[in-house]
Amino acid sequence: MSIPNHDFLRYTLAYPDKVNATQFPLPDGIAYLEGVGILRLEPHHPVQHSVVLSAGIHGNETAPIELLNGLVRQLLTGELALSVRVLIILGHPQAMIAAERFCDVNLNRLFCGAWQRYDGLEVGRAQELEQAVAKFFGQHEQGEKLHYDLHTAIRGSQYEKFAVHPFSDGKAYQHSQFAFYDAIGLEAVLLSHQPTTTFSYHSYAKHGAQAATIELGQVKPFGENDLTKLDSLNEALKALLSDAALTQGQARNVHLFEVIDVLTKDAEDYRLNIASDEKNFTGYTQGFELATSSASRYLVKQEGDALVFPNTKLPIGQRSGLVVRARSWQTFKTI
């Protein structure tokens, strides 16, 4: 078999519950359909790099799903040559069909084995994706391991496109990654300050991959995305797949932020004192009461500290936002 019309997204949404693992020839390699929304492409010739590209871990974040589907089509037809091993993941087909972020629980909180502490549809999926990535990186031979997990944000942002870099735990930051972020049109990078249970952190921490969560603008339904806004990302991913080259821009063009505090919804009456359409990276004055509940209050610690990913429509105990602070490149070291 092959994939009808080379349309991996359509095929995945037509069979969201189960597919039989199978393989079929590519113009210059072999494609392995390993599970629902999981496609591994291996060139015949020796390669540089093992690359995981994932989208739709949140089902309604459609723009990067459509972008990845376009790249897969070009790889399947041979229009785009393949010079790396690549694992394509359409993260959460059930949520895509429901046009929802998730069904039972946020899939992007379930990695690094965190699925063991949850119930719901996403638990099995997190386990399946962890296994697919472990198998893929387990067969890595040379070059870099890379994983870019593509998302779009719930709200607008002062910086429309940005990356969340995994907590490095003392490991060096790689200059080539930051120069790649500029090349793909990102305006900012958020440096995580502690381990998390996201998909990209899982690849970074468990498999030693260079990895990032990449936010690419605001959520829109399928078919309503202006993919020309993602042209530089599309071109850079094509170069990565076909030339094994990480397109390099100017790393220092990217604004750096570091996470200062994680806000947590700690009571039913918890609220953030911001406009409902407040943009990500909006900065506040020192002393401003950013969050209030019967259990706690959070005052802004330093002039300009900003809020990213605010969300209070979630269960008590979950993350309601990240407080971030601009970081100067002068004190930031990369290799």
Mark the segment that binds Zn ion (CB under 5 A) among 2-10, 50-58, 67-75, 76-84.
Answer: 50-58
Q: Long-range contacts: 64-69, Cβ < 8 Å, 24+?
A: 64/150, 64/151, 64/152, 64/214, 64/216, 64/230, 65/9, 65/90, 65/96, 65/222, 66/9, 66/222, 66/225, 66/227, 67/150, 67/227, 67/230, 67/233, 67/234, 67/237, 68/150, 69/7, 69/8, 69/9
Mark the segment that binds Zn ion (CB under 5 A) among 55-63, 109-117, 190-198, 253-261.
Answer: 55-63
Question: Do residues 151 and 308 lie in contact, with contact meaning Cβ atoms separated by under 8 Å?
Answer: no
Q: Which of 102, 40, 63, 86 is nearest to 238 (CA)?
A: 86
- Compare residues 151 and 165 and give the one whose CB is closer to Zn ion: 151
Closest separation between CB of residue 97 and Zn ion, Å? 17
Is position 151 an interface residue for Zn ion (rule: CB under 5 A)? yes
Measured distance CA(300)–CA(323) in Å, rounded: 9
- Compare residues 70 and 91 and give the one whose CB is closer to Zn ion: 91
For Zn ion, what does the binding mask look like between residues 104 and 143, x meaning CB under 5 A? ----------------------------------------
| C-alpha distances in Å from residue 310, one per residue of 33, 187, 199, 269, 302 | 37, 19, 20, 15, 18
Count CB atoms within 10 A of the CB of residue 302: 14
Closest separation between CB of residue 58 and Zn ion, Å? 4
> 58 labelled as ligand-binding?
yes
Measured distance CA(328)–CA(258) in Å, rounded: 10
Annotation marks residue 215 as catalytic: yes
Is position 161 an interface residue for Zn ion (rule: CB under 5 A)? no
3-state SS assignment for residue 317: coil
Is position 92 an interface residue for Zn ion (rule: CB under 5 A)? no
- Compare residues 41 and 188 and give the one whose CB is closer to Zn ion: 188
- Compare residues 61 and 160 and give the one whose CB is closer to Zn ion: 61
Residue selected from 43, 50, 56, 58 as contacting Zn ion according to rule CB under 5 A: 58
Closest separation between CB of residue 152 and Zn ion, Å? 7
Q: Which of 328, 313, 332 is nearest to 102 (CA)?
A: 313
Q: How many residues bind Zn ion (CB under 5 A)?
A: 3
Measured in whole angstroms, the distance separating CA 212 from the mean position of its chain's CA atoms is 6
Given 215, 224, 235, 303, the catalytic residue: 215
- Compare residues 58 and 109 and give the one whose CB is closer to Zn ion: 58
Closest separation between CB of residue 217 and Zn ion, Å? 11
Closest separation between CB of residue 25 and Zn ion, Å? 34
**Residues with catalytic roles:** 215
Residues that bind Zn ion (CB under 5 A): 58, 61, 151
Residue ranges of the binding site for Zn(2+): 58, 61, 151
Residue ranges of the binding site: 58, 61, 151
